[in-house]
Amino acid sequence: MIKVENLHKSFGDVNVLKGIDTQFIRGKTNLVIGQSGSGKTVFLKCLLGLFEPTKGDIYFDDKTYRDFSVKQRRELRKQMGMVFQGGALFDSMTVEENIKFPLRMFTKQSQAEMQNRVEEVLDRVNLDGANQKFPAEISGGMQKRVSIARAIVNKPKFLFCDEPNSGLDPRTATVIDNLIQEITKENQITTIINTHDMNSVFEIGEKIIYLQDGILAWEGTKDEIHKTDNKAVTDFVYSSNLFRKVKIAQQKGY
């Protein structure tokens, strides 16, 4: 579980996050949504420890990040997995080497053990046989899967995803969403996903927080987001013609 208390982050005179309080539940897919510039990425980077909060606290399993020693922070990072928007795969390494990388860096596993684990996660993300390919040789959807495989290979307790299905076709995007949700449940991970994609919101949003100008403007589930009367949220969610028409049809009883 991750708990955020009164989180502020400023860059010079610009206040990006203005006091966020929330908590993210273990074993569930937690979604952070909001318009561009609402502070989603800064929020995620604060959770990842890439940005030091200006004020406020972040608790990882009831321990505040602020009080962690350098060594403890390093240990915590090893329990985190991250799926980047563009995949962020190391392009000088093959798929297999990319996935093996965290194991090589942080474990004392033998080559055979590492190989078994790589095969296991590749199988889990349905990428058998792609071991020796380089990131440039595989599709965007496959790159995302490799990125997920690399993020989970070390069995992390916390999984962060920054727009995991951006740039993917709707079908592949749904596959990636479902994959993340399944992995979250199987391994009881605390998963936080930054997204713009309304399909993801309605598909896997077990907990959703909506950020607006650095403030938490709404939080709830995918069922509650349909019923909310928060104008900012409805404007954002139904900004797409398709979703707006679906809602109108539902209201008319179709």
Tokens representing 134 are 């380089």
Cβ distance to other proteins smaller for residue 28 or 150: 150
Residue 1 corresponds to which amino acid? M
Tell me how far, at minimum, the Cβ of 12 lies from other proteins, in Å: 15
Tell me how far, at minimum, the Cβ of 75 lies from other proteins, in Å: 8
Cβ distance to other proteins smaller for residue 115 or 199: 115
- Residues of this chain that interact with other proteins (CB under 8 A) are 48, 50, 73-78, 80, 82, 84-86, 88-91, 101-102, 104-106, 160
Residue 186 main-chain phi, psi, to 5 deg: -60, -45
Tell me how far, at minimum, the Cβ of 49 lies from other proteins, in Å: 8
Query: Nearest 5°: CA angle at 211, between 65 and 39?
Result: 65
Question: For residues 121-143, b (16+ Cβ closer than 10 Å) or e, as one string?
Answer: bbebbebeebbeeebeebeebbb
Tell me how far, at minimum, the Cβ of 86 lies from other proteins, in Å: 6
Cβ distance to other proteins smaller for residue 11 or 106: 106
Tell me how far, at minimum, the Cβ of 138 lies from other proteins, in Å: 15
3-state secondary structure of 54: coil
Cβ distance to other proteins smaller for residue 32 or 233: 32
**Alpha-carbon distances of 201 from 18, 36, 174, 235, rounded to whole Å:** 24, 16, 11, 14
Cβ distance to other proteins smaller for residue 39 or 135: 135
Residue 48 corresponds to which amino acid? L
